[in-house]
Structure 1
């Protein structure tokens, strides 16, 4: 039995095996949804490119084409064009495989050990599949945040500026990765300059398709959507937990204001008061940002948590191995990662997890624990982690 387990573990620890499984998952999930006719999100993305070319409003309903709204930045309609021009099923497969591989390669190039990479790959895999089933951009956003960190560590200024600004122009909260820039003091001004440069290029990108005279209209329509979207729901987030478990009398903006204060205090403490500005601290900041941006997102959905789960994986890498951290990571795996799947009891999911937004609860507890680790500087250096 031990020999079988060792061989199995060894096989699934091979990078090429993980790579192949990520590709297979993206392809099979996309094909499954195409055959079942359930790919509304992809229809929205594909149609957005056509609507932009036709100079139509991207952010209104088109009930004859799809249901729901296009909630993304106008530039995303340009960026999605290579997939939009493919036949539907081909584009879906390429899109999902592309999304899976961006996550795979972001993890592959992290400055951590092979064993640690394997943990991250497999810990996030089920949550990644949940996200791939929705054919949305959340895996890509998660990957871009990690890629920003990887590029900063490797002092790749141009790549940093591009991937960090790109996150915002896919979906606004993807721009959270810019908060990492101050932690790289040596190249800070250079990184900021290149970031602003790419931000400006991506901001006017739709104008090269529809003309600069149409750009103000596109931004006005996007702004209208954002104002209306803020009223929609509480999200699978801290906001959702408070408003479904405790009270609905607290305005959402107050909860998010508290979140901003927590973010500011965390970043300021890490930047000014932690003397050892090492890789472990910087990875803890990445983990914090990836959980925070979902926990305080009023529009967070179940599949959005692929971003927070990557953050949880990073938290575990820097956490002391004790009963508390092991219990928390198991809690995340069961309630956050497994709750949307068929292995989780349906009646518990439908009666408790979804109505009360409980999927966010384990991530909230990990987020609080990460703050404790950083404020007390009790996080474990990456090179000292052996299991």
Structure 2
């Protein structure tokens, strides 16, 4: 039975124009709406990272130009620099489109068929729209993780290390790309490349600011991330849009105010690393893809900093898992459930009462992804990946 027969909407994925239209069209529409409404706070934070680094001002304090604070490292100042000299409307739009194009390219590099790639793009387009409405760099974080995986499989370890370090030096998340180390056929080159790119990205911001200032920024960055983590745990004090994670979901559903996140994180980490006991199958492409999916989901589910737009990192994993599966009505039903609940639980498809009283306060967005991650870990341990149909790249 073909992929088209097992999923009645799969024929949409054969329409290249439709995939392109949804991916970039939804992003452009939502970005125009936010720019028109002058709702570009995150982009304002981003562009000021460059100006603050150049002026050697504290990088992680609140400034009157915007709400909230910056949480990205000083290296980010170089990435955002080309956009800062443009009018906000133009710079913001280009910033969003570049991020969207980067993730599009990364998904296209996966060793999957064109139809499978199109399904991933189609069903991830709504998450992309949500992340784009916040001008989020998480889109590029997802791209860095996916692209590093694809490059390692192609033997391009040096470039894979580059994208891992880009993600790590901007938002820490990117370092999870090191989870693909065991798939590398040139491990020493991979390690050396990580060290070289890391050293380069550490010193590059010193082109626009003094070395002493940049070193101090890295120290301040760690302090700022610690403060943010502590703040994210305070959902009972009105901060309900943060910590949309496994910890946040469990804490809120069971009303566990005095709750140590390590009680969830540590078992989760042990389960994640337990998947590596099957490394004898490290050359099996389905096992490799299962680890990719697990990494993308774990990164979001076990971070207290996860917000709704962060799920542009997690949800492509659900789509990748689905296109790999053998035909099954149960798989399709679960995939559609995950798609609706994860991508639309905080949108107008649900009534305001549901959003206000269930979806947001209980971090329901995390639930289908948490179930999906558990399914993947279980399938790895029962070696279900050995019973999947061949990947058609």
TM-score exceeds 0.5: yes
How far apart, CA to CA, are the structure 1 residues paired with 2:391 and 2:186?
A: 29
**Residue of 246, 257, 260 corresponding to 1:251:** 260
How far apart, CA to CA, are the structure 2 residues paired with 1:269 and 1:323?
A: 30
How far apart, CA to CA, are the structure 2 residues paired with 1:365 and 1:43?
A: 36
**Residue of 282, 285, 292 corresponding to 1:279:** 285
Shift of 1:20: 4.4
User: Quick one: structure 1 residues 380 and 85, their matched pair in 2 at CA, closer, same or farther if it must change by over 3 Å?
Assistant: farther
4+ residue runs of structure 1 moved beyond 6 angstroms? none
How far apart, CA to CA, are the structure 2 residues paired with 1:223 and 1:9?
A: 45
Q: Contact 1:127/1:303 (CA < 8 Å) preserved in 2?
A: yes
SS at match of 2:385: coil
Q: Where do 1:144-183 residues align within 5 Å?
A: 144-183=144-183
SS at match of 1:205: helix
- Are 1:327 and 2:327 counterparts? no
Shift of 1:59: 0.2
Q: Contact 2:281/2:287 (CA < 8 Å) preserved in 1?
A: no
How far apart, CA to CA, are the structure 1 residues paired with 2:374 and 2:326?
A: 15
Corresponding residue number in structure 2 for 1:78: 78
Shift of 1:85: 1.9
Corresponding residue number in structure 2 for 1:30: 31
Q: Any unmatched runs of 5+ in structure 1?
A: 1-7
Corresponding residue number in structure 2 for 1:299: 305
Q: Contact 1:320/1:380 (CA < 8 Å) preserved in 2?
A: no
**Residue of 271, 287, 302 corresponding to 1:262:** 271
User: Quick one: structure 1 residues 150 and 336, their matched pair in 2 at CA, closer, same or farther if it must change by over 3 Å?
Assistant: same
Corresponding residue number in structure 2 for 1:238: 246
The one-character-per-residue Cα deviations of 1:208-253 (angstroms, maximum 9, x if unpaired) are 2112122221112212201211101241111111111122333123
Shift of 1:259: 2.2
How far apart, CA to CA, are the structure 2 residues paired with 1:382 and 1:45?
A: 43
Shift of 1:117: 0.9
**Residue of 366, 374, 378 corresponding to 1:360:** 366
How far apart, CA to CA, are the structure 2 residues paired with 1:294 and 1:28?
A: 26
- Are 1:350 and 2:370 counterparts? no
Q: RMSD of aligned C-alpha atoms?
A: 1.9
Structure with larger RCO (C-alpha < 8 A, sep 6+): 2
Q: Any unmatched runs of 5+ in structure 2?
A: 1-8, 234-242
How far apart, CA to CA, are the structure 1 residues paired with 2:102 and 2:388?
A: 23
TM-score for both structures, normalised by structure 1: 0.91
SS at match of 2:304: coil
How far apart, CA to CA, are the structure 1 residues paired with 2:391 and 2:350?
A: 31
Which segment drifts farther, 325-334 or 89-98?
Answer: 325-334
Q: Contact 1:284/1:370 (CA < 8 Å) preserved in 2?
A: yes
How far apart, CA to CA, are the structure 2 residues paired with 1:369 and 1:120?
A: 19
Corresponding residue number in structure 1 for 2:215: 216
How far apart, CA to CA, are the structure 1 residues paired with 2:137 and 2:386?
A: 32
Q: Contact 1:151/1:157 (CA < 8 Å) preserved in 2?
A: yes
Count residues with an aligned counterpart: 374
Shift of 1:383: 4.6
TM-score for both structures, normalised by structure 2: 0.90
User: Quick one: structure 1 residues 228 and 276, their matched pair in 2 at CA, closer, same or farther if it must change by over 3 Å?
Assistant: closer
Q: Contact 1:318/1:380 (CA < 8 Å) preserved in 2?
A: no
How far apart, CA to CA, are the structure 2 residues paired with 1:383 and 1:110?
A: 17
The one-character-per-residue Cα deviations of 1:236-276 (angstroms, maximum 9, x if unpaired) are 1111111111223331233222222222212x2232xx436
Q: Where do 1:106-121 residues align within 5 Å?
A: 106-121=106-121
